Amino acid sequence: MSVQKKSLIDRQPAGGKDAKPAKRRTSIGSTLTPSAYTKRDAMKLFKKKK
């Protein structure tokens, strides 16, 4: 597990923090609806998490 996480971090060193939320946004959007829902819900989820 740790090896895979390190490899992912090494692949995207520039935006490590932005990379994880981006993946979550795409997963949420694909499961429910297109980007229209993703943008609105992503903001709500981000505010709640932070």
Please give the Cα distance from 39 to 27 (Å, whole number): 12
Per-residue pLDDT tens over the stretch 15-44? 445 545 555 555 554 555 555 556 677 777
Parent domain of 30? 17-50
Q: Are 16 and 26 in contact (CB under 8 A)?
A: no
Residue 4 resides in a domain: no
Q: Is 31 exposed, middle or buried (0-12, 13-18, 19+ CB in 10 A)?
A: exposed
Number of domains in the chain: 1
Residue 5 resides in a domain: no
Q: How confident is the model at residue 45 (pLDDT cuts 50, 70, 90)?
A: confident
- pLDDT reported for residue 29: 47
